Chains A and B, each alone.
Chain A
């Protein structure tokens, strides 16, 4: 008797397997489409064949020339993979932030990552011309990464120094202050260096144009670590939904969960921003769409945001390079163009449900 009742308990375990499978399938499918479409290169239907051909033990005559294969593998593939990594990271970080701050309107840039990275990148662009010309690596991603982390560190120091550690409100407010400060400094620096405005502006709008396997290798370790930590914490993020006090009464070390999740999300977001620039809206709309689709449990929202975020950014990158070819629309413009109306729609749906 008791075992049958246990089986009947409605839960998310069964749904989890189904949705993980669906999510992974959507990512693979979008990635194939992303690799198949583009201004130059072979006919789209030859691309999956060419990819299959490269798998061990499979030989297919795809009719793709070596030059075309280079376009697929050296230009499109890293771009698709980088879009997937960045989209997954921003959505995952957004969902996790929303969970630990119990605020559905929070995005991964909340604690100053974006403004810090923007300032870092701006400084790198300004200094770039003379000093760093001989550097072995591009200083812009590095400066953005460091800037993002430094801004969040400052937010954290300020937030915990002035607020009591039990409330996250001060932390959020400190994030707002640090964002304003970094933006102000950035504007000041830009005003004195008008010649880099164009470069900085294009960086801020986000870009995957120059994506290479080197970029992928650069961010993969950070994003992988951050993703693993956030996925491990999603059950605990779900417990936080009943409030700090009650979560504590249920044996959760609330402050520790919040710090670890914020650190991991910030770390991954900084890495993503460093290579892609500031791509907006992904971290808000993807978790929201997942929530509308699957309900509000973070045990589903967090991992599924990762899958759908990856698919969303791969898809958002396609119109940018296909429609306005040969010039490119920055991906940040595409995500905001679709993101802003979609966000309003979600708000409307939320209101209608009440």
Chain B
């Protein structure tokens, strides 16, 4: 399933936040959107998920998102927001089951198949021990896995992740991203994520897209996008970029010397 944006434009309260963006993400590819706060990363993801209106074109396998019914969009795109709402007194199983909503008729109930999809995914993500637990009792890492589980039972070919690791410690950041990486390989998912941690972004994605004031200013492999002069220009930071022998790019912020 190919994700294609042509001249995509998103406004937030009258101000343009994404301006004329062209981009194409192939099936099974992981594109990571980076950029400073307010660059338009979230708005871009929300437009693709059909949550905010856009101008221009956003197509998933040649079907325009704005022309699809809400449930059809949800069958094509699964969206994990930056700060998902997890009702404290909802069980993990019931929460994951909500992800099947796009397949349940308006006044119907989940079918045996829906429950089977959920049960299998709960097993696959080693969540069975949590299935009856209430969401309010989960730790940050567990919560993130549960949210990813809910998104995956949508069985949408495109997975959008808005800051999937922002609330997690280093170990859980790695676990969450490893999980997404494994699942996209197994299921051939097209993944698009917004991320702040540039090193992790470069490590897990196939390609990076750097947004600045709603404009795609740099794109390509991590080695090409993550350069200290680029970061200085668009993030206004002083950072050292280390290129490891295995192709990994490490971004290390530099402390100012104190001569203000």
Which residues of A come within 8 Å of B, CB atoms?
2-3, 5-6, 8-13, 232-233, 235-236, 238-239, 241-243, 245-246, 248-253, 295-297
Contact = CB atoms under 8 A, between A and B. Distances in A.
Given A251-B73, A253-B70, A246 B154 contact: no
Given A5-B120, A295-B89, A250 B101 contact: yes
Contact of A296 (B71, B73, B84, B89): B89
Interface in B150-176: 154
Given A9-B93, A241-B87, A252 B116 contact: no
A11 B93 contact: yes
B120 A251 contact: no
B115 A9 contact: yes
Contacts of B106: 236
B104 interface: yes
B119 A251 contact: no
Interface string B82-105: 001111011101110111011010
A242 B50 CA distance: 17
B51 interface: yes
A6 B93 CA distance: 11
Contacts of A252: 70, 101
Contacts, number: 91
Question: What size tier do the contact residues of chain B reach?
Answer: 35 or more
A296 B154 contact: no
A239 B75 CA distance: 16
Nearest to A8: B119
B61 to A, nearest CB: 18
Nearest to A253: B70
B94 A11 contact: yes
A98 B51 CA distance: 24
B115 A242 contact: no
Most buried by B among A3, A12, A235, A246: A246
B93 A251 contact: no
B51 A245 contact: yes
A251 B131 contact: no
Most buried by A among B81, B85, B95: B85
